[in-house]
Amino acid sequence: MDLIIANSKHVIYAQAISACIGESAKMRGTGIARRSPEYISKKMEVGNAVIAIENNEFAGFCYIEVWGHGKYVAHSGLIVSPEHRGKGLAKEIKQKVFDLSLEKFPDAKIFGITTGKAVMKINFEL
């Protein structure tokens, strides 16, 4: 499993990530915001995303949302493909995106906007 900072060469996974987010929202019956492939691609192109890839397939993803010219940062769009769930990958992705946030925006206040129990647990542990 490769866990890396996404860039423009990873936009080929944007459609799969967008679809996975949509399917996850349907399964859980939650109002997870839809992320278009174009929006996901933009996050990758500027290096504000982390992607997990295994055997040339998307396994997980999360991106950084920035406000106030870098004063505020949120981690958003955390998703793990169904076949990789329950293995601790979400926590690894969150740690990597947290480290990326500190590197790119060292003075920013970092926060999360989630009501998902699993993500809140990960955020608390980190």
Per-residue model confidence (pLDDT) at position 5: 98
CB 17, CB 38: distance < 8 Å: no
Q: What mean pLDDT comes out for the span 47-56? A: 98
**In the chain, % of residues over pLDDT 70:** 83
E runs forming strands in 6-121: 49-54, 57-67, 72-80, 109-112
Which run of H or E residues covers position 2?
A: strand 2-5
pTM: 0.86
Question: What is the model's pLDDT at position 110?
Answer: 82
Coil vs helix vs strand at 15: helix
For the sheet containing 57-67, what is the strand order? 2-5, 49-54, 57-67, 72-80, 109-112
* Res 45 pLDDT > 70: yes
**How far is C-alpha 7 from the geometric centre of its chain's CA atoms?**
13
- Structural element, H or E, at residue 96: helix 89-104
Which residue ranges form the domains of the chain, and what is each CATH number? 2-125 (3.40.630.30)
